[in-house]
Amino acid sequence: MANPDLILHNGVIYSQVRKGSAVQALAIWNGRITDVGTDHTILRLRARSVKELDLQGRTVIPGLIDSHIHLLGYGMTSKNLDLGDSKSIGAIKRAVKRRASRTDSKKWIVGRGWDQERLSEHRPPVRGDLDFTSSPVFLKRVCGHVAVANSAALALAMVDEKTPNPAGGVIEKDEANRLTGVLKEGALALVQQAVPRNETDIESALVSAARRLLRLGLTSLHCIIEDALELKVLKRLSAEGRVKQSIYAVLPIELLAKASSLGLATEKSGGSFRVGGVKVFLDGSLGARTAALREPYSDSPTSGMLTMERGEFDHAAGEAVAAGFQLSIHAIGDKAVEQALGVLAKSNRATASRRLRHRIEHVSLVPPSLLSKMRKYGVLASVQPPFIYTDYWAAERLGQTRLSSLYPFRSMLDLGVRVAAGSDCPAAPSDPLLGVWSAVARPGLPSPERLTVSEALSLYAEGSAFASFSENREGSLEPGKQANLVILDRDLFQCPTVNLRNVRAMRTMIDGEFVA
C-alpha cells in the first residue's frame, strides 16, 4: 500500500455516523481513505512528504448527500425575486414594482417564495394584484406547485378563459369564469415555457448554487432536472470541474423516451456525473393543499389532487422499468403514496424495486399500513426533514389525528424501510444540519417519531448513498471510499438538542481536496 499523502489527526472523526463512535485520525492517498484509527496508529504511516492537518479536537463527519434538490431552482433564487420574507401582498407588489423600475418593460419578472399562510391577507396573490405593471410577472409559491401570473404573462403564454386545464393541472377561475391568474400543478408549465431561458443564465445559476452548497458540507447531490438544456449544461459543468459535487441526475419523465433511445439508464457506477432515475409526479404539496389525501384537509373542504391517473402512471412506470430506470415518485399525500405502491406492487415491479431501488420522494403523510407495504416491496423513502420545520401549520391543515403519520421517520427505520434525506431546496432550506436538528427535535410534531443524532445524520450519509447506488464509495469514512468529509465547528453528538440547530460546517473536502 502506498504511503498516505494526507493525514488528519487529533480529531473526533465519526467514520460511520450510524454507529456514533469516533476515531482520532485518518489517512488519505490519491483522494481515497486508506486507514482510520488512533493518532498513534495513523501517524506511524506518515512519510517525509506527507501533509498533516491537526484537527485540534474538531469534529469530522462524512460528506453529506442531499437526496432531493432542485439545483437550478436554487441558483435562480439569487437572480429572481426572493419573496420568502414577504408578510403581505402589499410587500409582494412593492418588490415587483422595484424590479419593474429597473427592468425593461418587455422583460419578465420572475420570483418565488410567497406563502399565503405568512401573508396578512391569508390568500394567494392574484392577477389583479400584479396588473399595475405592463411587464409580464410570474411568481411561484414557495413549494413550486402553485404560481400566479399577471395579465401580461398570461397573454404571452396564450392562456385565456378558453384554455382547457392541462393534464394534472388547474387554471383557476372565479365565479364569473374569469382567470384569477393562479395556476396549480401541471398548469404552471403553460406559463413557464413562455419565460425566456438562456444557457449563460443556467450555467451561472448552477455554479453559484453548487458553491453555496459546498459551504454547507454537501459533497454529493441528487439533482432533480427540469429539462434537456439543464441536463446538458450540468453535465458539462461537472466535466469541467466547475461543479465539484458528485451529481446523480434525476430526469423528468418527459425525457424518458429520448433517454431510452440514446441507450441511457440508471447508472449504478461511474464518475462524478451519473444519470439517476426518472421522476414522476403523482400529487402536489400540503402547503398548497394539492397533495392528494384520502380524507379532506382539516382546514378546507378539498382532498387535493392526483396529477396523474393510475393508468397513465402504470404505463409510465412500466416503460421506465423496462428501460432500466429507477423510479423517483413524487407522492406527498397518503392517497398518492397508496397509488404509487399499488402500481409498484405488480410482481415484476416489486422485484425491480430491489434491483432498481425505486424511491418515493417526500412520502410525507404515510400511515403504518402503507409503511409496511414500502418495506414489503423494497421501496425507499426519500424524505425532507426540513419540512418538519417549515410546515408549522401542519396541525391546522391535517388535524391532530393525522399528525402521528406525518414524517414518521422513526417508524420507517424501525420497520426496516431504507431512508434517504434531502432538502427539496428551494422549497425548504438547503442546510442538511438544519435537517438533522428537525428530525431530532420535531418541533410542533409528536415526539415518538424523533430520531437520534446518529440516525438523523445517517439519512444524509449512508441512507442517501444507498439511494444512488454509491454506498461502496461514499456515505462513510472507511478505507477504500472517497475522502469526502466535513469539519464541524462543534461535536453535534454532544450537543443538547436545542443547540443542534446552531452547528455549522467549517470546511468541506471532496476527493482529498478542500473545496470550501
pLDDT band at 46 (very low <50, low <70, confident <90, very high): confident
pLDDT band at 350 (very low <50, low <70, confident <90, very high): low
CATH at residue 168 = 3.10.310.70
> Could you tell me if residue 70 is inside a domain?
no
Three-point CA angle 15, 216, 19, nearest 5°: 20
Rg value, the chain, Cα: 23
> Could you tell me if residue 470 is inside a domain?
no
- Say yes or no to pLDDT of 348 above 90: no
Give the SS3 label for residue 224: strand
Q: Which amino acid is at 89?
A: I
- Say yes or no to pLDDT of 165 above 80: yes
What does DSSP assign to residue 13? E
What does the pLDDT average to over 482-507? 97
> Could you tell me if residue 277 is inside a domain?
no
What does DSSP assign to residue 160? -
DSSP string, 177-210: S-EEEEEEETTHHHHHTTS---HHHHHHHHHHHH
> Could you tell me if residue 14 is inside a domain?
no
> Could you tell me if residue 137 is inside a domain?
yes
At 347 the pLDDT is 55
pTM above the 0.75 mark? yes
Cβ neighbours, 10 Å, residue 226: 19
Three-state helix/strand/coil letters over 468-500: CCCCCCCCCCCCCCECCEEEECCCHHHCCHHHH
What does the pLDDT average to over 348-363? 84
> Could you tell me if residue 395 is inside a domain?
no
Domains held by the chain: number: 1
> Could you tell me if residue 437 is inside a domain?
no
> Could you tell me if residue 374 is inside a domain?
no
What is the rounded average pLDDT for all residues in the chain?
95
Q: Which domain holds residue 109?
A: 81-192
